[in-house]
Structures are given as C-alpha cells and as structure tokens.
Structure 1
Amino acid sequence: MEAKAVARYVRVSPRKARIVVDLVRGKSVIQAREILAFTNRGVAEAVEKTLNSAVANAEHQHHVRPESLIVKTAFVDEGPTLKRIRPRAKGSASRIRKRTSHITIIVAPREEA
C-alpha cells in the first residue's frame, strides 16, 4: 500500500529540484524531514510540503504510522515553460524561459518497499 502526493507547477527549474529530491529518495520519512529542514535550497520547502502531504495521505487512507514509512520513489518532471522577453541591444529581444516542475513523492511502509 503506497501513498502518493504530487506538487504541480512549482516555479523552480527541474534541474534544481532534482538536486534536493535526490537527497531524500530511499530515506525514512523522519530522516527525510530532517534533511529537508536543514537543506539550504529554496525548493526544499516545496519538497517538504509534498512529503508531508504524501505522509498525510498514507495516514488517512491506509491508517499507517508515519514512523514506519520510507520515501519509496521521488522524482521531478518538467512542467510547462513560461516564455518571457528581455529587451536587448539595437531593438532586438532575447527569450527568457521560466521553467516549472512537477514534484512526485511516493511513500510506503518499510517492509513493503
């Protein structure tokens, strides 16, 4: 029995989000929360929020204690890119790509994963 949470359209580049998500993959939920609390990255807050949502889903749907859960799967997919324009020299313009991410975290009981 797994519980899943997805944070969609997070305004951070997937490359930056993957750095933080790689830190918590395979760890226990308690250990993952500690890692995220002391990670000095802006996206750590969004990842922690997604992790807490997955744990809450496991508690509510499957009546599992959070201490017995581990982060089974965690990955970041690329969301839609917002395209903006920056004025440049001689009347030209260059494109700015504001990337978004979809963060997915799946938690499972320790013996199952």
Structure 2
Amino acid sequence: MRILVVDDERKIRNVIKSYLVQEGFEVGEADNGSAALARARNENWDLILLDLMMPSVDGWEVMRELRKESNIPVIVLTARGNEVAGFFRTLFFHLKSCLSISRYLSTLIPNH
C-alpha cells in the first residue's frame, strides 16, 4: 500500500513516515500543496495524509483539485477540527492529532 504524506513541517512528516514504514507501508512525501498535487497526478497512491495549514497552496485547495480528478482516499491532519466539520463530505476520517493515526489507519486499511 502506497501512502503520500503531505505536510510543510518536516518533523511531522518524519514522525508519520517512520511509523508507516515500520508498519510496512510504502511512503512518499510532499512538503507543500503544489508538490502534493503533482505527485498525486503523476503517481499511484492508495491514500493521502494531508495537512490543511500550509503556505501558498494549502490543504483546502489540494482537496478541491484532487476531487475534480480523483477518488483517492484522504485523511486530513489538522489541529483545527472546527474548520473541517461539514466542509468535505468525501473525507473518510478527520484526525485532530497525528498521534492517533495508527487507530484510524488500522480501521481504514485492515490487514495491510
């Protein structure tokens, strides 16, 4: 299973990537929205973990563009849960903290 981790903060990407690689996932990274869109369009991903709060092309715009051309499942990573409520009907999960990511991933992708 291939997962794209999108976050402008390197430390957060590294923590998430380390966990996912340990769990046997193939992980790619993007440090901004433009890079995320390019990788999503040019590579095959099974899941995208997406931070909303990024400079320039933020996670909101990435989601808008992705939904025009793809049905890749997306998990939104943000500390501001009230912004997400009701905005996207296509999200599988909303995480308030990446610390609970293992529980959500195991629910979304059993027997990975």
Which TM-score band applies after superposition, normalised by the shorter structure? under 0.3
Instruction: State the TM-score, normalizing by the size of structure 2.
Output: 0.25
Higher strand residue share? 1
TM-score by length of 1: 0.25
Q: Which has the higher contact order (CA 8 A, sep 6+)?
A: 1
Larger radius of gyration: 1
